[in-house]
Amino acid sequence: MNRTIATCLFSALLACCGMAMAQSPRIFIDPAPLPPPVRLDIGQRGQPIELQSMAVRSEIAGGLARTRVEMLFFNPNDRVLEGELRFPLLAGQEIDGFALDIDGELREAVPVEKARGKQVLEEVIRRRVDPALLETTAGENFRLRVYPLPARGTRRVVIHYSEPLASAQGRYRYRFALAQAGRLASFSLDVRVASPAGTPSGLAIDGRPIEMAQSGIWYRGTIQRKDFAARGWLEISLPDGSAKTAAIAAVAQSWGGESYVQLDMPIASRRAARALPSHVAILWDSSMSGRLRDHDAEFALLDAYFKAMRNGTVSLVRLRDVAEPAASF
């Protein structure tokens, strides 16, 4: 069999080998550096906009977390400005709402398709009303236009985001990057955790534990600080009750006038022998983008697989800008 036969679909190939595994448990990998600070960017048009206060409210239940972050920004300049909010998200976090204060009252945004959002924005601008438009971009990023930033005045911005919590070694972990807030005139935290399997742990600020009051399966921790220098991470660890018992966990929540139920159904890892096929189809990436791959390792895997097959046929399709006709071996 020709040694040049290789595959870019190793997952499919390995599934045909003797052993197959079900979904693997997720593992915690500490994020490398802390995310960059939250800021309201005005470019080079004056002194930087100051983040004066932050109020964080989080609710954690059934392996899901929803966080609300309310921020107060101050414009130290003598003129009205426009800014773009930069609020870094961690992997897996998704924005699901935001609000701005208008005439002193917070107004929640309405989600629409991107094209429709821009159309509405233009219509609102023509009516000389101050609009707001949040757009998601590549990766864990988004853009939020904030206007007006009154001269020597403040604006409140609220961001809502949700995230699934990975479970490892029988525990969920929630993290909030305090360091992205920097020094604040005021900081508050309100965390509610549903933990029927046991007491949450690890809730601490500056290394000092925060006491959590219990009410049934719910635990709540709160703090309020003045002249707060935010550093490091806020972390909470709670037992994953389904990890040992394989029980199904159900969580019901209401949002936007609708009720939602999430079922967390653990799947045990299994190994099962499979009969080797007599025919294998391989897709091989022959484009320049694959020139730096470890071809020796790929060929070694294929050699081992073909030896285990002994007799059989292989269909090879090379992929470049287009797929070439299949060749048989």
Return the number of other C-beta atoms located less than 10 Å from residue 294's C-beta.
Answer: 8
**Block residue for tokens 């305090």:** 178
Q: Where are the domains of the chain?
A: 10-21+271-328, 39-264
Fold of 39-264: Immunoglobulin-like (2.60.40)
**Block residue for tokens 């009969």:** 275
The pLDDT, as a whole number, for residue 134 is 65
Burial (CB < 10 A; 0-12, 13-18, 19+), residue 269, is exposed
Q: What is the pTM of this model?
A: 0.65
Contacts of 1 (CB under 8 A, 6+ apart): 306, 314, 329
Q: Are 72 and 149 a contacting pair, CB within 8 Å?
A: no
What is d(CA 242, CA 252) in angstroms, rounded to the nearest whole number? 17
The pLDDT, as a whole number, for residue 251 is 65
The pLDDT, as a whole number, for residue 47 is 94
Helix or strand or coil: residue 25? coil
Mean pLDDT by 10 residues, the chain (329 residues): 38 36 40 74 91 95 90 95 88 86 81 55 50 59 81 94 86 87 92 87 76 91 90 84 59 71 69 84 84 84 88 89 86
